[in-house]
Amino acid sequence: MKHIRMENGEYTNNFRDSIHVVLEHQFPRSEDGIVEKQIKINMNFPMDDGLDGLTLGIIRELFFLYPAWFTDLFNDCTRQGVFPDFWKIAKVLLIPKEGKDLTEVSAYRPICLLPTWGKVYDKSIAQILLYELESKCKLHRNQFGFRKQRTLKYLGLLFDERLTWRPHLERAREKVNYLQNKLYRFSRETWGVKPQVLKEIYEVAIEKYILYGVEIWFNKTVKNSQTLIQIQRVELVQIAKTYKTVSLEALLVLTGSIPLDLVADKEVPKFNLFNRGIPINIKDKEYSFQDFDLVNKLDLLPWEKGGISWSMDSDPNGRFKKIFTDWSKLNGRVGSGIVCLSEARDIIWKEEIKLNDEASFFVTEAVAIQLAVEKVGPTKEKIVIFSDSRSVLMVLESHKNHSEVIMKLRKILLVKPQIKLNLVHAHVGIYGNELLDLSATNATTKEEVYIKVKIPKSWIKYQLNLNMLQEWQARSMSSPNSRFFYGIYPEVNTKR
């Protein structure tokens, strides 16, 4: 350390004087003495050792070896009211600041290394004092600084001690009111942004903010449901540009907005099904996690993800061996038909397949193509499969994994290049398609399910949306506030 310039302009003569000047500057003496204003708890213990040379890790191991001796030492100090002086002496390290004149007092950054024993003992005293103050209610109810709180904010969710989630909803209400006041600058009852734009802002931004983490905090209590409706009502008044006295039921129908508690109630079972494995009941039937088509992207190797090409060039009435596939849905029952024609358009074989009622049109057509390929078996003969489902053919051509059926079908077609796929228009008088109409319809009338396919996730979303609309319709019909409005708009609709 170089000579330090003192306040009188002179320089120190030796190392001891330099240390003394720096310490007096960095740690000025208090005229009133040492007064501890606040007990610091929950502090992070540094790994640097003090004058005793013991780190926190060493003391922790000592506690594990001799816990009785460790606690007796601290208890004796507490009973006698003694804080050993040696535990108060700090080892001070002066670190020069980069780019500073080292002859200046302020050019050094002091680092104090207190003995770890003193830090541990200070921590124990703080815990004892905190327990005394909390257990005997000696702290003011507005004191929050070092106390255990009754709420916890984690990942945007505000937890309360009883998990009522009311503080979280009240916080969401305040935020929504703040956003609404911002929107008032651009839209009022007779001017400004159109209702369609306001509804888009509400559905895309505000509603998503309100329902953030709804799978965790929504418990379908009356209080929480009413709070959600109250938050939503403020936004609906602005969208509809009506008076504040308009009933909630009328606002929901006018704006085409589903009650927010019903939207929240829809998200919870879907989350529980796919993330927690809790079964769900739809139309008095239980569905588990294993019933749904959940594609694992790692199931296919990179060289098995090649696309299957298709065309529209082949003549469906040409003189070559061809297969036609089609599907049908009648009274909620799903079936598909397959017919194989020779060069002379004679029927070689045909199939009528009944699938489970939850199968989508997309999956039904894909299953029909898969069965047709499997029915052909190993052959070197050129065969063209005609399908009127452009969506299935486009998915086969892509390199993405969409469903279990598509993955299996793509694997089969990759090793059978002699089988070609061709798009054909439906209901244009093609002989093969006309034969399939009756076969696909007959397949829906069968009682026994020939193939049970995995249910797509879109099906559960559709069913939950349908149940949500039905419950909204029933609520609208039974509410006394909507009887007059029911004569104008008897059915609820989200397209308004």
Q: What is the pLDDT of residues 3-21, one digit of tens each?
A: 888 888 888 888 888 888 8
Q: What are phi and psi of 177, to 5 degrees?
A: -65, -35
Structure tokens at 176: 């929504």
Task: Please report how many Cα atoms fall inside a 13 Å half-sphere around the Cα of residue 41, on the Cβ side.
Answer: 13
Q: What is the pLDDT of residue 428?
A: 67
Q: How far is CA 319 from the centre of its chain?
A: 55
Give me the domains of the chain, ranges plus CATH numbers: 33-136 (no CATH), 163-292+455-495 (no CATH), 310-454 (3.30.420.10)
pLDDT of res. 49: 63
- Record the tokens describing residue 35, joined without a space: 């007064």
pLDDT truncated to tens, each residue of the chain (496 aa)? Answer: 678 888 888 888 888 888 888 878 877 765 544 433 333 334 344 455 667 777 777 888 888 888 888 888 888 988 998 898 888 888 888 888 888 888 888 888 888 888 888 888 888 888 888 888 878 877 776 665 566 666 677 888 888 888 888 989 999 999 999 988 888 888 877 778 888 999 999 999 999 999 999 999 998 888 889 999 999 999 999 898 888 888 888 899 889 999 999 999 999 999 999 888 899 998 888 999 888 888 766 666 666 666 788 888 787 777 888 888 888 888 888 888 888 888 888 888 888 888 888 888 888 888 888 888 888 877 778 888 888 888 888 888 887 766 888 888 888 888 888 888 988 887 666 777 777 777 788 888 888 888 888 888 888 999 999 999 999 999 888 888 777 777 788 888 888 7
pLDDT of residue 214: 92
Q: CA triplet 139, 142, 143: central angle to 5 degrees? A: 50
pLDDT computed for residue 36 by the predictor? 38
pLDDT of 231: 93
How far apart CA 307 and CA 394 sit, in angstroms, is: 9
**pLDDT value of residue 32:** 45
pTM over 0.85: no
CA angle 309, 312, 315 (to 5 degrees): 125
Please report the DSSP string for 213-263 in residue order. THHHH----HHHHHHHHHHHHHHHHHHHT--TTS-HHHHHHHHT---HHHH
3 state SS of 77: helix
Backbone dihedral angles phi then psi of residue 39, each to the nearest 5 degrees: -80, 120
DSSP 8-class letter at 43: P
Do the beta carbons of residue 310 and residue 423 sit within 8 Å?
yes
**Residue 417 in tokens:** 């290049």
CB-based contacts of 208: which residues, under 8 Å, 6+ apart?
Answer: none
